[in-house]
Each structure stands twice: as C-alpha cells, then as structure tokens.
Amino acid sequence: MTPATQPGQPEPANAGGDILRCEHIAKNYGAVTALTDVNLRLERGEVLGLIGDNGAGKSTLLKILCGFQPPSSGRIFLEGREVALKSVDHARSLGIDAVYQDLALVNQLTVFQNMFLNREKVRWPLVRNGAMRKEAREHLDEMGVQIPSVNSPVAMLSGGQRQAVAVARSVFSNPKILLLDEPLAAMGVKEGAIILDLITRLKHEGNVSIIIIAHNYAQVLEVCDRVNMIQGGKITLDKRADETSADELTEMVVAEYRRALEERQRSA
C-alpha cells in the first residue's frame, strides 16, 4: 500500500505511461537533510525539467536516480517494477545513464576514442580504430551533432560541442532514461543552441526519456514537456511547460527565499 501523500505534495504517479516513478524519496547526510519527500514521475519519451535554487536537492536526486547514492528512504519504480539501484553500473544496466557538468571526457583523446571509451572495438591484438571512427561519425551525423572531425582531440572543441559529444556518447549505449546535469551551464547563446537542438531532436525521436537539471527557466520551457520544481527537498510544482512561465517560476524561488530568510530571522 502506498503511503499517504503529505499536504501540498503532488500525488504519487501510477504505473500508466510512466517509465520512472519515485515515491517519498528522502536523503539524509548525518544531521543534514537534502531531500525530505520527493514524488516524481517521468513519462515515456518525455523531457522533464528539474529546477530549483542552489541547495534545493536537484543534484542529490539525480545522484540517487543514476545509482551513485542510495536514498535514505522511499521507493523507485522503473517501468512499473520497484528497483534498488545499487551502483552507477547497475543503473546503466537497467537503462539509466547520466551526463554531468564535468562530462567525463578525456581531453587528450580524440572524439571517436571518447565515444568508445571503455568499450573499444578490439580484434586481438589490435584496436579497430577505423571501425570506431566510422561508427562514431555515423552516430554523430544521425544525431545532428556537428563535429569537424572525429579525429580531433576533444580539448580542441567548443563547450557546446564537448557537451554534445558527452550526450551523444550516452545515447550511443541506447539508454531508456537520460539524466542531464546542467547541460547548458556557462554556455553562450550559440553553444547553448547546439544542446537545445540536440535535446529537441532526441525528444522528437521519442526513443529516450530525459530529465534535465537547469537554471535558465526560458530554456527549460523551450525544450521540456513538463517542469518540476524542488524547494526544501520536496517537489512543490508539477506543471506542463505550456501551463507555466519563467515569471511564475522566478516568483516561486523568490518567495521560498523570503520564507527561508524570515524563518532564520525568527530562530536567531
């Protein structure tokens, strides 16, 4: 039996068309509470924007969903079945992959070498560089990622191109769910457009469901189907992107900041 939802919290989703469901997820680090009661759902083929101020719990939730950390309590359902994500590798084996801000790319290696990192094609005793170059080029072209040459070291690429390669590498493994941690951070308009175009293309293909952590509300609303806001370790907003606005989202963050400030002043 599913525990009752706390007042003000979205109802836990039923299996329906959801590929991922979280019910009452909490995470404590000793005396510090990062998440208190998160109910979240991700539909098949959906792009979900996960927003909130710094320290709200977004990255903590992402780490739980990719298997990097276990929740302190709560339940996770993947395609209707409850799962306990034991590690990042275990999550990947179930079809959940993540791209973090540091991208985990090796600057000294070429684009194609990064695409096949830790899964190189080998015909003993030789590494099949030609086959990897060809397959990497085909995959990037299919995704619409504009890279001059797969022989280029990733250190020579722009920020947008590097991010696109990191996303393409994750998609290369055919995940069911892709978690993107601030894919647009510190990017200019031109570089950000590369990633927005890539996410839009993946969305239209409908083969992967995506959760994006982002701070730029206008960009979130441009590319996402639905938006969840985390405040104080809870989901406080769950709306379709076309039913909210950057102004409403900003007002919610400001109101939460004022509430927290008043609470600190009362307890001082």
pLDDT tens digits along 136-174: 999 999 888 888 899 999 999 988 888 889 898 888 888
Half-sphere exposure (Cβ direction) of 71: Cα atoms closer than 13 Å: 24
Domain spanning 18-107+175-262, CATH class: alpha beta
Report residue 109 as tokens.
Answer: 């290696």
Q: What is the pLDDT of residue 4?
A: 38
Exposure b/e, 3-14, CB count within 10 A at least 16 = b: eeeeeebbebbe
Q: Is the pLDDT reported for residue 16 higher than 60?
A: no
Helix (H, G, I), strand (E, B) or coil at 238: strand
* Nearest residue to 213 via CA among 50, 68, 66: 50
Mean pLDDT, residues 251-256: 88
Q: What is the pLDDT of residue 15?
A: 44
Q: Is the pLDDT reported for residue 230 higher than 50?
A: yes
Listing DSSP states for 194-228 in one string gives HHHHHHHHHHHHTSSEEEEE-S-HHHHHHH-SEEE
The values of phi and psi at residue 143, to 5°, are -85, -5
CA dist 173 and 118 (Å) reads 12
Q: Is the pLDDT reported for residue 121 higher than 80?
A: yes
Q: What is the pLDDT of residue 186?
A: 67
pLDDT in tens, 42-98: 999 999 999 988 888 999 999 999 999 999 999 999 999 999 999 999 999 999 999
CB atoms within 10 A of CB 99: 22
Mean pLDDT, residues 187-204: 84
Q: What is the pLDDT of residue 13?
A: 39
Residues 211 and 179: beta-carbon distance below 8 Å = yes
Exposure b/e, 153-185, CB count within 10 A at least 16 = b: ebeebebbbbbbbbbbbbbbeebbbbbbbbbbe
Mean pLDDT, residues 97-106: 83
CA dist 192 and 212 (Å) reads 14
| Residue 61: C-alpha distances to residues 40, 127, 169, 180, 240 (Å) | 10, 38, 22, 12, 20
Q: What is the pTM of this model?
A: 0.83
Q: Is the pLDDT reported for residue 249 higher than 50?
A: yes
Q: What one-letter code names the amino acid at 248?
A: E
Q: What is the pLDDT of residue 8?
A: 44
- pLDDT-derived band of residue 1, with 50, 70 and 90 as boundaries? very low
CA dist 37 and 14 (Å) reads 17
Residue extents of the structural domains in the chain: 18-107+175-262
